A and B are shown apart, each in its own frame.
Chain A
Amino acid sequence: MTAIGKSVPRVDAHGKVTGETLYPGDINLPNQAYLKILFAGRPHAIIKRIDTENAAASRGVLAVLTAKDVAINGYGLIYPDQPVLCGPGSSRRFADRVRFIGDQVAVVIAESEELATRATKLIKVDYEDLPLLTDPIEAMKNDSLLIHPDREDNILRHNKIRKGDVEAGFSQADVIIEAEYKTPVQEHAYLQPEAGLGYIDEEGRITVQVAGQWTHEDQEAIALALNLPIHRVRIIYPAIGGAFGGREDMSVQIILALAAIKLHERGIDRPVKIIWSREESIVGHHKRHAFIFRSKWGATNDGKITAAEVEVIQDGGAYACTSTKVLGNATLMCVGPYEIANVSVDAYSVYTNNLPGGAFRGFGGPQAAFAAECQINKLAHALGIDPVEMRMRNLLRDGSLTAVGTPLPEVVTIDRVVAASAEMAGWEKGPEGWSSPPAESLGSPAEKYLKRGIGIACGFKNIGFSFGHPEKCTTSIELLGGSEIERVIVYQAGADVGQGAHTVIAQMTADAVGVPLEMVEMVLSDTAKTEDSGSASASRLTYMTGNSIRGAAAEALMHWRAEDRPAKATFTYTPSATTDFDSSTGYSTPNFAYGYVSEVATVEVDMETGHVRLLKVICADDVGKAINMQQIVGQIEGGIVQAAGYALMENFIQENGQVATQHLSTYLIPTVLDIPEEVESVVLEFAEPNGPWGVRGMAEMPYIPLAPVVVAALHDATGIWFDEFPLIPERVLLKLQEEKGT
């Protein structure tokens, strides 16, 4: 009867195929008014004056709000350095500045969207432009032009790792590879642009219906910025049209709450609604960080990596968002899942006037894996060692010390994951070690100007919050009935951003209570009804909700046996503690669990146009336990295509703080014609000892090694290493021609 391990069809699919499901923009409340935000449109300036008189007097306008109207006027997931509204008269110092084009300056509330839009154009803002800092390397050095004048420099964070003696390590090395890698900005491009409603509910709570990733974090951010007691704020998530990390920071949440309160204070109790256009979405929310890695690794002739020295520079953009946490991952992962005796890393997060960087599937992992996997592939090539064999000689195993001086939690399975992907692709293990499949096995291209190649890359990534960040998840379960359990109600805040969390919550609840799936009812994603479950991020939701569901089910069943009717229990799961980097050595226990992934890709490159086609991707992913195989495979296929966009086509252009790609017609994401011809998912189930049913968490893993595996395959095809992407045809062709010329 167990519901675990079955490909249970999504519980929310009926409404999604009939159109009944309501996303935030689909909800209409009686008598609602509309919001329009005036964005700065310029990347660095001091606002001298805002004149809202004409806007406020314009037809149909209920109110115009500026910085003066925001109680605390600061927010941010790690530091509250971002003003809700920028402008003079704010309670916070330096909130009169705009630091990127998406800074919000004023909000108009009007009878219709059209009238609100018209009124925003009547707002006069006097700006005094400031010089721009858009290059993180320059911003790092420049202490006289400060993006946040309350700081001493533009460096938001510096992480250090010092393990062993890198100089000694390099002197043992027979080969040293040095390179500078650059990874690009990426836009989430979830299909549903930001939208939501704000109103005062029947119990007087300031209520916001919005698509986010963490109800209770949205609640806290609103309460802090508007100086409200937390219980006066309520967050409800309707259906969410994709997220991928892009809804982790605030977008329209605080503005909606602010508008609802300000109207209320003026005696107007009307709901307010906002829908961002695609352009507003692209400019208005954070992006995947661009990174620079300057890597120097050495290895001996027998393929043992002896030292790694890496400088990491992250363009944090205008505000902190989650930059320091993303940097933490990149610091740890830039030397790969390898045991290296001597490591030195200096990693910097830097403020600039670019769009803020923040969470996006992989959270620093894909960027770091790009540098690390390119390094190990280059070392293997230089040494004449097969890339799988090279990995086997260096991969972390149970008990190996990571760069931060502590082992990964057992069971470490990356060697088995790499082996599974390699075997599937035709690698063989002989007495001499691993050897790659013969070139003929790739098949021959249809034309002479096409070349094929194959490559491998792997990766690891934390499950759950890292580096000492508090981590917990709460579930309540209620059992109703007489002599037999007749109804099971689970209360869970976890966001279903599309990944299928709610289906999995139902499956896990059914199994934990021991009832058929159909008996489970769910109360979901409403701070007034559900306790804090933490975010839908860090591949953590199945792991964390599963453990809290099991705890709550066990307690509820105990009450049931004691004849309580209804029998109800609330359980908070807390995993083992993690610690932050030691400031001088980086020593830490960064994470409580990991997922492991390895990919083999076959590409075909057109030597005349530079066009790269992904023929096949094999993805081996240790998920611990597949609660729902259909959804796991869906995550693998979706993650690979999103990463293929990152690696091959998504070209986000920022110049002088302005965005040149503000529409989906200029920022191109993969269509069905751009996907690999074949994706083979190899789902491995090596149980995570503390995971519920052995679950590890997996939604980010398939994304992580894709860019470096494409580069490895491209090198196999052309003999050329690409240290920068996206590998759009222009970039590939230029490099092919350069190399031909030399």
Chain B
Amino acid sequence: MKKTLHPIKITVNGIESTHAVEPRLLLSDFLRQDMELTGTHVGCEHGVCGACTVLLDGEAVRSCLTFAVQIDGHQITTVEGLGSNPDELHPLQQAFWDAHGLQCGFCTAGILMTIIPFLEANPHPSEEKIREALSGNLCRCTGYQNIVDAVKLAAERGVGQPNPDD
């Protein structure tokens, strides 16, 4: 069985590259294996848990439900692409650390990537809105309260408002 490979040209975390991928290769596998970006986690392979969430042209998508070929010509941001430089955390990351918004941390990357565009669209969210935004991400450890609080803290610190960190 011979497989056709499809050329794709993409920008991942600001860096452009070209690849040849099998048509059925999932974006999650592509990122984790081909790009060695293992910060994107796979918890269910079915679009349920949200652990695999990345940004596709700034929108949160589930990389386990996306094929690598679909991102041809597009921009992807993973958790590794947050923060303006390696020594400085993105303020959303810092808020999760400060508010104890994680325990095992396996859900964290997906939650951060879900919240980035949410706060951009809603820089001053109510608690209810935050809960709604988080409703597609599973966390088995924290009971969610500290995650909600971390998002609140990030909003208070200006994440989502124009250019808080750069």
State the A residues within 8 Å of B (CB): 7, 9-10, 12-23, 25-26, 28, 188-193, 239-242, 244, 277-278, 497-500, 630-631, 634, 636-642, 663-665, 669-673, 675, 679
Contacts and interface: CB of A to CB of B under 8 A. Distances in A.
Nearest to A23: B106
Given A21-B105, A498-B103, A642-B140, A192 B145 contact: no
29 contacts: A7-B100, A10-B97, A10-B102, A13-B97, A13-B102, A14-B89, A17-B97, A17-B105, A19-B39, A20-B80, A28-B36, A190-B104, A191-B43, A191-B106, A192-B43, A242-B104, A242-B106, A498-B141, A500-B103, A637-B144, A638-B143, A640-B143, A642-B143, A663-B46, A671-B134, A671-B135, A671-B136, A672-B134, A672-B148
In the complex, which of the residues A278, A670, A672, A673 has the most CB atoms of chain B within 10 Å of its own CB atom?
Answer: A672
A673 to B, nearest CB: 5
A37 B97 CA distance: 38
Nearest to A277: B45
B98 A9 contact: yes
B92 to A, nearest CB: 8
B82 interface: yes
A18 B80 contact: yes
A631 B146 CA distance: 10
A533 to B, nearest CB: 19
In the complex, which of the residues B49, B80, B134 has the most CB atoms of chain A within 10 Å of its own CB atom?
Answer: B49
A240 B104 CA distance: 6
In the complex, which of the residues B93, B109, B140 has the most CB atoms of chain A within 10 Å of its own CB atom?
Answer: B140
B48 interface: yes
B142 interface: yes
A18 B79 contact: yes
Nearest to A675: B144
A241 B38 contact: no
Given A18-B82, A19-B80, A672-B135, A191 B96 contact: no
Nearest to A275: B42
Interface residues of B, number: 54
B105 A16 contact: yes
A interface SS class: loop
Contacts of A23: 41, 106
Closest 9 CB pairs of A and B: A19-B39, A498-B104, A16-B105, A637-B143, A241-B106, A26-B38, A641-B143, A19-B79, A498-B103
B51 interface: yes
Contacts of A13: 96-97, 102, 105
A213 B41 CA distance: 21
Contacts of A664: 43-44, 46, 48-49, 138
A562 B97 CA distance: 41
B119 interface: no
Contacts of A241: 41, 104-106
B102 A17 contact: yes
A672 B147 contact: yes
B126 to A, nearest CB: 14
A634 B145 CA distance: 8
A542 to B, nearest CB: 15
A191 B94 CA distance: 22
A641 B45 CA distance: 23
Contacts of A630: 100
A669 B139 CA distance: 9
B60 interface: no
